[in-house]
Amino acid sequence: MSTLAHTRSAARASAFVVGVASSTCLARLARLLPVLVVALVGAFGLTGCEQSMIARSSEAAAVLREFQTGDNQIPRDTLAQAQAIAILRETEAGVVVAGGGGKGVMVRRTQRGWSAPVALDSSTGSIGAQIGGQGRDIVMIFRNEMDIAKVLRQDGYAIADASATAGPANSAATSDNNTVLTYAKVAGLFAGARVGGVDFRINNQVNHETYGYQWSAEDILAGKVERPLGAGEIYTVLPPPK
């Protein structure tokens, strides 16, 4: 065989070896890639549910901030009385879809300050007719430990017409006898007594996948778990801890 033929044969053999090696490396990389992704996600805390909790908390912060500016603000004295606060944003699209609704969080005052947020989902199938199919922002002030215990016991809160609990937007709010005060805005405007029904449920899936399955909503609201990274914005608009 000529030298040229030997050279060509050696080149083909070398290319085959390189190809096999490359394929082997790619196969190993493909097997390792999911492991690397999981490791990176765990390292940076970027699970889907944690992102959901961060987004919910940021949205809740925006809602509460809007209730603290402009006309018809939630009185500071009322916020100071809060033992827990539930904040929900119901988008127009969510209201129109039967059984759909909004998302939000609930936080509770503890000896260490405000607790980590608990995820809430609202069920608003009947609200479209009440408010013309528009979205709502809702802030509920819980001033009584019994009402908070009821939320935890029932895994949520429901009232067909919250108008009777509509929080007064004036300095006389502290004299109101309702232990739960509900504030609502429709399309950015204070709803007053036109609150309509309120129905929210605790989203245990988001809570468990954010904090761990060993923690219940009661544990979270008792301050037994750390606040998730990235959810700090809501604590800048909550009333100062007592």
pLDDT 10s digits, 185-242: 876 665 555 566 788 999 999 999 999 999 999 999 999 999 998 899 999 999 988 7
Q: Which residue has the higher pLDDT, 53 or 131?
A: 53
Q: Tell how strand 156-159 and strand 118-122 pair up.
A: unpaired
pTM, two decimals, is: 0.72
Q: Which residue has the higher pLDDT, 152 or 178?
A: 152
Beta strands in the chain (DSSP E): 84-90, 103-110, 113-114, 118-122, 136-142, 156-159, 180-186, 189-190, 198-202
Q: Is the pLDDT of residue 170 over 90?
A: no
Average pLDDT, the chain: 74
Q: Cβ(234)–Cβ(64) under 8 Å?
A: yes
Q: Which pLDDT value is given to residue 92?
A: 60
Q: Is the pLDDT of residue 50 over 90?
A: no
Q: By CB neighbour count within 10 A (0-12 exposed, 13-18 middle, 19+ buried), where does 149 fall?
A: exposed
Q: Which pLDDT value is given to residue 124?
A: 53
Q: Cβ(238)–Cβ(141) under 8 Å?
A: no
Q: By CB neighbour count within 10 A (0-12 exposed, 13-18 middle, 19+ buried), where does 200 fall?
A: buried
Q: Which pLDDT value is given to residue 93?
A: 47
| Residues 62-119 pLDDT 10s | 999 999 887 778 998 899 999 999 999 987 644 333 444 789 999 999 999 999 999 9
Domain ranges for the chain, please list them.
1-44, 48-236
Compute φ and ψ for 125, nearest 5 degrees.
Answer: -60, -30
Q: For the chain, what is the radius of gyration of the CA atoms?
A: 27
